[in-house]
Amino acid sequence: MTMRQGHPPISEEEYNIFFEFFYRRTGILFNDKKGYFVEKRLHDRMEKTGSTSFRRYFDLVRFQASGEELQCLVNIMTVNETYFFREDYQFNALVQGMLPEIARSRKIGDTLRIWSMPCSTGEEPYSVAIQIIENWSRADDFAIEIRGSDIDTRVLNEARQGIYGERSLHRLTPALRAKYFQSVGPDRFQLREELRESVDFSIANIVDPLHTTRYRAVDVIFCRNLLIYFDDVSRRLAVEALYDCLSPGGFICLGHSESMSRISSMFQPRKFGDTIVYQKPLGND
pLDDT digits (tens, 9 = 90+) for 49-95: 988 888 889 899 888 888 888 888 887 787 667 899 999 999 999 99
Q: If you average pLDDT over residues 114-121, what whole number do you get? A: 96
Q: Are residues 213 and 271 in the same domain?
A: yes
Does 272 map to a domain? yes
Distance of alpha carbon 61 from the chain centroid: 23
Asked if 166 and 42 sit in the same domain, the reply is: no
208 dihedral zone (left: phi>0; alpha: psi -120 to 50; beta): beta
Please state, rounded to an integer, the average pLDDT across all residues of the chain: 90
Same domain, 20 and 45: yes
> For the chain, how many structural domains are there in total?
2
What residues make up the domain containing 148?
89-279
Check: CB of residue 277 under 8 Å from CB of residue 90: yes
The C-alpha atoms of residue 221 and residue 112 are separated, in whole angstroms, by 11
CATH number at residue 246: 3.40.50.150
Kindly list the strands in the beta sheet with 199-203, ordered across the sheet, starting from the edge strand earlier in the chain: 199-203, 143-150, 111-116, 218-222, 246-253, 275-279, 268-272
Domain boundary among 31, 48, 77: 77
- Residues 46 and 174 both lie in one domain: no
67 and 139 inside one domain: no
246 and 271 belong to one structural domain: yes
Do 256 and 122 lie in one domain? The reply is yes
63 and 104 together in one domain: no
Let me know if residue 6 belongs to a domain. no
User: Per residue in 194-246, pLDDT tens?
Assistant: 999 999 999 999 988 888 888 999 999 999 988 988 888 889 999 999 999 99
Residues 46 and 129 in one domain: no
Q: What is the CATH number of the domain that holds 60?
A: 1.10.155
pTM of the model: 0.82
Helix, strand, or coil (residue 285): coil
Give the 3-state secondary structure of residue 65: coil
| Residue among 233, 3, 224, 10 at smallest CA distance from 120 | 224
Of 237, 204, 196, 169, the closest CA to residue 24 belongs to 237
Q: Are residues 169 and 56 in the same domain?
A: no
Cis peptide before 186 (omega within 30 of 0): no
Q: How many residues in total does the chain contain?
A: 285
Domain boundary among 28, 47, 77: 77
* pLDDT(285) > 70: no
54 lies in the same domain as 181:
no
Residue 228 lies in a domain: yes
Q: What residues contact residue 100 under an 8 Å CB cut-off, 6+ apart?
A: 136, 138
